Amino acid sequence: MRTGKESVKKLPISDQFIQELKSRTAIEEVISEYVQLKKSGRNYMGLCPFHNEKTPSFSVSPENGFFHCFGCGAGGDAITFIRKIENLDYVEAVNLLAARVGMTVPKDNRDDGMGRLKTRIYEANREAARFYHKQLYAPDGKQALEYLRKRQLTEKTIIHFGLGYSPASRFELVNYLKSKGFSGSEIIAANLANQSKKGNPFDRFSDRVMFPIIDLRGNVIAFGGRIMSDIKPKYLNTSDTPVFNKSRSLFALQFAKNKANGQLILVEGYMDVIALHQAGFENAVATLGTALTNEQAILIKRYCDEVVICYDADEAGQRATERAIGILRPTGLRVKVLTVPNGKDPDEFIKSYGEQGSARFRMLLEKTGNDIEYAISKLRTEFNTDIDAQRVEFFNRVTPVIAGIDNPVERDVYITRLSEELNVEKSAIANLVRKKFRRNESKLRNDEQKRAANELSAINNKMNKEKRFRLRAASAEEALIAVMITNPDIAVKIVERVQPELFPTAFNRSIYEILSQRVKSGREISLEDISGDFSVDEMGSITGIVASHPRENDPAAAAREYIEVLEDENGRLTPKQIEQSEPQDLNEYIKKLRKMKDKR
């Protein structure tokens, strides 16, 4: 975001084009492609795609052209939404929305900065994928190819996933890419190479079987590599780059999304995914060398209603399963847990049954219980319920599991089942569950009240950290900004009267500076028009400001009141400043306040 002392940089895309795009784009239609929305008065509501929640707090306003989540604070126009959910920059998001309505962004308006770098990284990754695949069939790739064939991968599967080999030499890929016109800085930016102490690039991956990671648009965005020797780490992945964020990506989702049919299978590694796809389970995906993230859970939710977790049965796999359940369930997904017998992973299990492997795995899949059944079954193995003391402890541990179920009918089903299986009065179990459920609800209410109190005090406001010290002034700043955006017809008069220096907090002042400069230039200041001037997080804060200030009945009069507050607050010290001031300085400050009061 720019400060007021800088001139307003011409956006990479003209205002006229954005206005036309805005007129053709219904924000509720764009967002409904990612979020299930329900009409609520003039607006639409849904579960936020940017954080886990059980109660919808994500609001879309077609009338005002913006979305806002009252839970996590995300917000903005349709462009901001696409930027955030697709992890795109401003120009890429505009291109995507333009293509959606049959428009083409003029070439002379395309960004030549970050957009060009991303394009070059995509191109470098594509060339690297071709290089690695070719090396797999070269003499140096013999061991890697034998490894893949030993894992019983067919030629069709190897080609389908674009598998390859990175030579042991640390310069072959770098030299190849340089011969294709890529600079050392571009190769390093793509994380295909590291930089030596002397500043020279050398191959990041060495002597590894390579797994290209492809996004939903078919771009190669990263790689995973399995070492062919005993050197650690066994698997090495691309670090985050301008085109890749491992927390927001899933291996093979570009294939699985078209085969999901309402269900995705979540496994641990590349080879498990590839083996399942080869066996006919083309709805399998994997995380990329990290534990499941909230962003990945939300991404999964976009393509299915049910997810089957199929992690390793060892202790680490069980911990990962429990963690994944806690992340997936709040999204509203149905969660199942498939435990492969004898501690095998899916790949080993399928191969152990030869031609019957696929049928056997499908039987496991069909008999798989949900996450609640998995949790209860796991607890059963920890306690001997024939012993009274352990039976009591079992119920103490199982009660929170059942209390965590939102659906009362589903809760009753498990209470009844446990009552019959363990010969315990249903009412006794129900009472335990009811108490825990109420405690959960009470905690949620307390957390919500605490969140609301923190919001009012601005103690956790990350974007405007000064607000908590200048609460009255910052509130007036925000109200004035909201009036300008929702009533652009009076913005000119506000700009004529108010200089940016009247805003005591830097974040709100920077917003006002950009708004006032646009007004002076005769440009629009709606949320859609200014989204190119701010980051995604900044747009979330600005949208929150607008969303929390309903349209004024008399905006001109309201603006005057807010300006008077700012004028009154101008020059006032914060409590911390007063505490640190010398006595003589405080006397001068008091005299100044009295003069201000006399003038009014």
Give yes or no for residue 443 having a pLDDT over 50.
yes
Minimum mean pLDDT among 111-125, 438-452, 508-522: which range?
A: 438-452
* CATH of span 114-244: 3.90.980.10
Mean pLDDT is lowest, of 117-131, 186-200, 265-279, 287-301, for: 287-301
Checking if the pLDDT of 237 tops 60, the result is yes
3-state helix, strand, coil in the chain (%, to 5): 55, 10, 30
| Contact partners, residue 311, CB within 8 Å, separation at least 6 | 266, 267, 268, 317, 318, 320, 321, 324
Q: What Å distances lie between residue 378 and 192, 207, 249, CA to CA? A: 43, 41, 30
Q: Which tops the pLDDT comparison, 56 or 571?
A: 56
Task: Residue 256: count other Cβ atoms within 10 Å of its Cβ.
Answer: 26
Query: Residue 263: phi, psi to the nearest 5?
Result: -140, 135
Instruction: For 65-79, write each residue's pLDDT tens digit.
Output: 999 998 889 999 999
Residue 68's pLDDT is what? Answer: 95
**Residue 413 scores a pLDDT above 50:** yes
Q: What integer pLDDT is reported at residue 525 of this predicted model?
A: 92
* Counts for the chain of helices (H) and strands (E), in that order: 27, 15
| Cα angle value 416/420/424 (rounded, 5°) | 90
Task: Give the angle subtended at the CA of 394 by the CAs of 388 and 396, to the nearest 5°.
Answer: 110
- 560-571 in b/e form (b: 16+ CB < 10 A) is eebbebbbbbee
The pLDDT, as a whole number, for residue 406 is 82
Gyration radius of the chain over CA positions: 29
Work out the average pLDDT over 562-586.
65
Alpha carbon distances (Å) from 361 to 35, 281, 284, 317, 338: 32, 9, 13, 19, 10
pLDDT of amino acid 440: 77
Write the CB contacts of 506 (distance below 8 Å, at least 6 apart in sequence): 464, 466
Determine which of 5-14, 109-118, 158-167, 218-227 has the lowest per-residue pLDDT on average.
5-14
- Residue 522 φ then ψ, to 5°: 75, 25
* Residue 5: per-residue pLDDT: 35
Q: Exposed, middle or buried by CB within 10 Å (0-12, 13-18, 19+), for 50?
A: buried
Architecture of the domain defined by 467-599:
Orthogonal Bundle (1.10)
Measured distance CA(441)–CA(446) in Å, rounded: 9
Of 161-175, 525-539, 578-592, least confident by mean pLDDT is 578-592
* CATH 2.60.40.10 applies to domain 15-108: no
Query: What is the average pLDDT value for the chain, to the nearest integer?
Result: 88
> Which amino acid type is present at position 346?
P
Bond from prior residue into 500 cis (ω within 30 degrees of 0)? no
CATH number listed for the domain at residues 253-369? 3.40.1360.10
Q: In the chain, where are the structural domains located?
A: 15-108, 114-244, 253-369, 384-455, 467-599
CA 235 – CA 286 distance, rounded (Å): 14
pLDDT of residue 4: 37
In terms of pLDDT, which residue wins out, 9 or 306?
A: 306
The predicted pLDDT at position 584 comes to 54
Beta-strand pair 193-195/201-203:
antiparallel
Range in 223-232, 464-473, 557-566 with the lowest mean pLDDT: 464-473
Nearest one of 85, 125, 127, 93 to 111, comparing CA atoms: 93
Residue 40 has pLDDT above 70, yes or no: yes
Taking the C-alpha atoms of residue 538 and residue 319, their distance in angstroms, rounded to an integer, is: 36
